[in-house]
Amino acid sequence: MSSLRRFFSSFLFASLTLSSTLAAAPSMESLSVIAVTDMTEIGRTYPEASPDSPVYYQAVTTGYQDFGRGMAGEKEPENDAFLQTVLRTLKREGYVPATDAHPPTIVLGFSWGSLRSQPGAALKVLGGDKLDLMWEVETTTGLDVRQWLRGMRAEKAQRVLELSKEDLFVMNVAAYDRSALVKGELVPLWQTRIACPTRGVWAADALPQIVQVAGPVIGRETKTPELSTVGRAFGKAGSVEIGDLTVVDEDFDLATMPVLDLTKETEPE
């Protein structure tokens, strides 16, 4: 695992950033969820995971991070409890922890946290490139004729652009080829980014919900960002208690899982 730690400490989530909502504080039911998956050419050659055809993985997690300015007093999700939510969500989508009988073919990297006051980076992570929005945050000289078309922008594009100017809670899942990684090569396969506005909700409440809402997007390429709400995904009753959403799933024994938790690693003296 030492080689994995070196790679993920250096490279894992350099691209992870995001930003919150616009008007009044939302209820959990109305909380917006944005998810997008980018796939590499190599990633497209790999089989898609499903419960009937699972993909086996090792994982590395860096836990909760503030990507940008932190917020004093933020209630973060408890690390192990949230990791259980991530692992259960992955299992439902066909991603299963590796065993001796089923060795890993991919390595997954997990990171979650907040991104504040970085609209350019947020727009990229929200999938703004898939909606031809990145020019909005690029420095240009002279007049860009696309400015004339702002009033004709599609509703989804406008919503993503608005959210990029706000603060967001973020979950990132990135996949790498395992055989290449053990040889010292970093071969990305895909990256899924999930976000929601921070206004009116705590990270401890919002992050477990949005991961489960976006489960079907994890590892599956999206042409444009997918927008939903907690209520639309689960219904009013399902969005009240986080535990209700996963009551049928058993906890994983994290001590035996092929998951390197860097929040619990200590540097050698």
Check pLDDT > 70 for residue 152: no
Rounded distance between C-alpha atoms, residue 183 and residue 246, angstroms: 37
Question: Quick one: pLDDT at residue 243?
Answer: 40
Token digits for 96?
Answer: 């299963």
Q: Are 183 and 123 in contact (CB under 8 A)?
A: no
Give the pLDDT band (50/70/90) at residue 141. low
* Averaged confidence pLDDT in the chain: 80
Closest CA to 84 of 225, 241, 255: 255
| Length of the chain, in residues | 269
- Give the C-alpha separation, 92 to 49, whole Å: 10
For residue 132, the model assigns a pLDDT of: 78
Q: Which of 34, 36, 6, 41 is nearest to 20 (CA)?
A: 34
Contact 79, 64 (CB under 8 A): yes
- Which of 98-102, 163-167, 200-204 is predicted least confidently? 163-167
pLDDT tens digits along 203-250: 999 999 999 999 999 999 999 999 888 888 766 544 434 344 444 467
Joined tokens for residue 238: 């399902």
Per-residue pLDDT for 150 more than 60? no
More confident residue, 66 or 206: 206
Percent of the chain with pLDDT over 70: 71
Beta bridge partners of 107: 58, 176
pLDDT mean over 50-68: 92
Copy the structure tokens of residue 120. Answer: 């350019």
What is the predicted pLDDT for the residue at 169? 92
Helices assigned H by DSSP within the chain: 2-11, 79-92, 119-125, 155-163, 178-181, 203-213, 230-238
| Span 34-63, average pLDDT | 96
Q: Give the residue carrying structure tokens 């909760």.
A: 64
So what's the pLDDT on residue 211? 96
List all residues 6 or more positions away from 142 whose beta carbon is below 8 Å from its beta carbon. Answer: none
Lowest mean pLDDT among 15-29, 65-79, 164-178: 15-29
Token pair 């949005």 in the structure block, residue? 210
Please, what is the end-to-end C-alpha distance for the chain in angstroms?
18
170, 18 in Cβ contact below 8 A? yes
pLDDT higher than threshold 60 for residue 21: no
> Tens digit of pLDDT for each residue in 153-185?
677 888 888 877 888 899 999 999 999 999 999
Closest to 37 in 3D by CA, of 189, 144, 152, 160:
189
pLDDT at 18: 35
Lowest average pLDDT, out of 33-37, 109-113, 245-249, goes to: 245-249
